[in-house]
Amino acid sequence: MIVGNKKRTRLMTTSRFVALCLFSLVMVLPFLYMVSTSFKKYTYLFESPPQFIPKEPTLQNYVQAWTVGHFSRYFFNSLFVTSVSTVFTVVFASMAAFAFAKYVFFGKKVLFILLLMGLVVPGIVLIIPQFIIAKHLHLIDSFAGLILFYIGMNFSLDTFLLRGFMEDIPPELDDAMKVDGANAWTRFTRLYVPLSRPALATVTLFSFLASWDEFAWAITLINSQNKRTLPIAIALFHGQHATSWGLVFAASLIALVPIIIVFLITQKHFIEGLSTGAVKG
Amino acid sequence: MGEVGNRETNFRASGSSSPDLPTSSVISRRRKSLGNHATAYLFLLPGISVFLLTVIFPIVKSIQISFYKWMVLPGVPSPFLGFGNYSRALHDPVFWRALVNSGFYMLVTVPSQIILGLLAAILLNKKIRGRATFRVLIYLPVITSWVVVTLLFLYLFSGDGGFFNWILKDVLHLVNQDVQWFGSRWPAMIAMAALGIWKGIGWSMIIFLAALQSVNPELVEAAAIDGAGPIRRFFAVTIPAVRRTTTFISMMLVIGGFNVFIQVYLMTQGGPMGATEVLLTYMYKQAFTYLDFGYGSAIAFLLAAIILVLSGVQWRYFRPDADS
């Protein structure tokens, strides 16, 4: 009886493992194809059957994208815009989350509803009035215009997640610090920020991703070639070199590197941050 | 969310009580509470002011613009149209087609992402060799930019010898000649939906996984001891445990589904002849190609209204705290 159970469990585990392998393979196959294409010399011809391993692998596409395609420039444009807006978003959102989680103040409910509206009406629905506002503020074709609006776009989700997390920090710790005469700022920086590390990692990842990948606002706001960020540079690059898929994918994979790095750094805290912040409802 | 209020009152009470000096404690409580208000506002100020300027003000502005034939040039007065832009939308066949396309995309991608995401989460919930690797691999499309994956699928779905055509024609022999995926409405919509599902599975998987890990394992064991098989256990323990999460995921995915834009913008530009136009590409075209900001804003506002109603309905019928 017990032996039979064990056998069954092992069979279950094996079939689970096989199912996961197949699942992951389907998810990763497009990427593998992209990577292999980026190392191919001639990509304007489709091979049938498709070749997953390039016959004469070459780095030529990467070199060409980085130098001739000016992707080194676009890469650092993106890195600058994304880093600055991520830092501001996370700092501003954690401060606001602290106020929402631990204070009662006039207009709290209204502000919270506005915050929820920011969650429900995201993306490019507001791009027309945002463009008009940016024009009035003389922010067209500027990094400042990208950064300011990226902070606003990511603020509500980050505040929402962090608020959920900070609410669960036991008030006893807070009271103990208060008795010791610590003011709000000290309690925020010494207690709430360090204890919210998993949630902070999560919102940092979210904000970084959102700004790094943002396309619609950037393509609407930026006109100068030397101010392009990676997503619009890749899209326009594809428009110019429609058949040079190797070149397009080399540029795309260059854009993927920082994302993977940030993901691997933050992913340890990631699930923990999510399960305590977002999902509790 | 009812919980929150309680904790706040507790916090306030414990923060300012000093039982032996009643009069001064009333004064100090009042002063303290004023101080508390001010402190809270200081913490809110930087973020909320950017948020009000870049998100809330545009919402108001967008309603205003939608009532005008908005003139882009400075100094030129914009004629007031009332509901003119809205009635124009309701009589515009392209608007309706765009609405149907957005709705199709949403209806196809949302259930698929929920089911496949839940499946992946269940497979990964118990310890297994290579668990972290599987998780990262399935999550990889989520963190990749929309532009990159859109171009990638454009390549895979390419009409002359692309990967999917090779599978359909040379491996499965389902078709005799290459499918021109982006040459007509429904094949293009299917290709875009396939991309949306593939990109989104990892996201719902991660959220489901977080929810499943907070399920008490004793509950599952107890059900197993009571003789419940895996399928019974799934419906009796797992499904109720992830109900709130499913509502949350479904709400977010419905919003995301109606926000479909980049795929269409880069794959078909809404073509051929407006056949694959979705609400946001049509709005964008009206605003930034024809410079008709008023009409574009009316379309955007109608979309926002649809999203708000659908979110409200889901919230009402599957309210997170309705079941616990």
The complex's ipTM works out to: 0.88
Task: Kindly report the average pLDDT of chain A as a whole number.
Answer: 87
Lowest mean pLDDT among A126-135, B142-151, B228-237, B247-256: B228-237
- On the question of pLDDT at B164 being above 90, the answer is no
**A128, A264, B65, B109 from B74: Cα distances, Å:** 16, 49, 14, 42
Q: How many CB pairs under 8 A join A and B?
A: 285
Q: Which of B33, B65, B130 sits opposite A128 (nearest CB)?
A: B65
The SS3 call for residue A141 is coil
- On the question of pLDDT at B27 being above 80, the answer is no
Lowest mean pLDDT among A32-46, A118-132, B22-36, B123-137: B22-36
Q: What is the DSSP string of B117-183?
A: HHHHHHHHHS--TTHHHHHHHHHHHHHS-HHHHHHHHHHHT-TTT-HHHHIIIIIS---SS---TTS
**Which residues of chain A are within 8 Å of residue B7 when distances are taken between CB atoms?**
167, 171
Residue A268: predicted pLDDT: 72
- Residue B68: strand pairing partners: B80
Q: How far is B186 from chain A (nearest CA, A)?
A: 22
**Which residues of chain A are within 8 Å of residue B221 when distances are taken between CB atoms?**
none
Pairwise CB contact (< 8 Å): A98 & B280: no
The answer to whether residues A89 and A160 touch, using CB atoms and an 8 Å cutoff, is: no
The answer to whether residues A199 and A163 touch, using CB atoms and an 8 Å cutoff, is: no
Pairwise CB contact (< 8 Å): A213 & B8: no
Per residue in A164-211, pLDDT (tens digit) is: 889 888 888 888 888 888 888 999 999 999 999 888 988 998 899 999
Q: How far is A100 from chain B (nearest CA, A)?
A: 8
Q: What is the DSSP string of B22-35?
A: HHHHHHHHHHHHHH
Cβ-in-10-Å burial (0-12, 13-18, 19+) of A236 comes to middle
Tell me the angle at which helices B185-212 and A245-277 cross, rounded to the nearest 10 degrees: 40
pLDDT bucket at B11, cuts 50 / 70 / 90: very low
Pairwise CB contact (< 8 Å): B44 & A96: yes
Place of tokens 């269940």: B122
pLDDT bucket at B8, cuts 50 / 70 / 90: very low
Max CA distance (Å), chain B: 91
The answer to whether residues B320 and B244 touch, using CB atoms and an 8 Å cutoff, is: yes
**A103, A144, B100, B149, B211 from B4: Cα distances, Å:** 11, 37, 40, 40, 20
pLDDT above 90 covers what percent of chain A?
A: 52
Residue B5: predicted pLDDT: 37
- On the question of pLDDT at A281 being above 70, the answer is no
Task: Kindly report the average pLDDT of chain B as a whole number.
Answer: 84
The CATH 1.10.3720.10 domain(s) of chain B lie at: 88-322
Task: Confirm or reject contact between A192 and chain B (CB < 8 A).
Answer: no
Q: How far is A77 from chain B (nearest CA, A)?
A: 16
Region B267-295: mean pLDDT is 93
Query: What number of helices (H) and strands (E) belong to chain A?
Result: 13, 0
Pairwise CB contact (< 8 Å): A259 & B143: yes
Instruction: For residues A30 and A35, give the distance between their C-alpha atoms in angstroms, rounded to a whole number.
Output: 9
Phi-psi region of B75 (alpha: psi -120 to 50; beta: other; left: phi over 0): left
Q: Which of B36, B140, B304 sits opposite A103 (nearest CB)?
A: B36
The answer to whether residues A255 and A142 touch, using CB atoms and an 8 Å cutoff, is: no
Residue A45: predicted pLDDT: 60
Query: Mutate which of A8, A25, A27, A81 to disrupt the B interface (most B C-beta within 10 Å)?
Result: A27
**CA angle B280-A82-A268, nearest 5°?**
100
**Chain A window 261-280: which residues touch B at a Cβ cutoff of 8 Å?**
263, 267, 270-271, 274-275, 278-279
- On the question of pLDDT at B210 being above 90, the answer is no
Pairwise CB contact (< 8 Å): B303 & A271: no
Region A83-110: mean pLDDT is 95
- On the question of pLDDT at A51 being above 70, the answer is yes
Task: Confirm or reject contact between A212 and chain B (CB < 8 A).
Answer: yes
- On the question of pLDDT at B18 being above 50, the answer is no
Residue B4: predicted pLDDT: 36
Instruction: For residues B313 and A254, give the distance between their C-alpha atoms in angstroms, rounded to a whole number.
Output: 43
For B183-198, b/e burial (b = at least 16 CB within 10 A) is eebebbbbbbbbbbbb
**Which residues of chain A are within 8 Å of residue B136 when distances are taken between CB atoms?**
263, 267
**Which residues of chain A are within 8 Å of residue B43 when distances are taken between CB atoms?**
95-96, 98-99, 103, 184, 188
Residue B228: predicted pLDDT: 77
The residue type found at B179 is V
**Which residues of chain B are within 8 Å of residue A174 when distances are taken between CB atoms?**
11
Task: Confirm or reject contact between A23 and chain B (CB < 8 A).
Answer: yes
Instruction: For residues A12 and B230, give the distance between their C-alpha atoms in angstroms, rounded to a whole number.
Output: 11
**A89, A183, B125 from A190: Cα distances, Å:** 19, 11, 35
- On the question of pLDDT at B106 being above 60, the answer is yes
- Residue B66: strand pairing partners: none
Region B90-104: mean pLDDT is 96
The SS3 call for residue A109 is helix
Pairwise CB contact (< 8 Å): B56 & A17: no
Residue A32: predicted pLDDT: 92
Tokens of B210: 């977080």
CATH architecture for segment(s) B88-322: Orthogonal Bundle (1.10)
Q: Which segments of chain A are extended strands (E)?
A: none
Per residue in A222-232, pLDDT (tens digit) is: 999 999 999 99
Region B174-192: mean pLDDT is 91
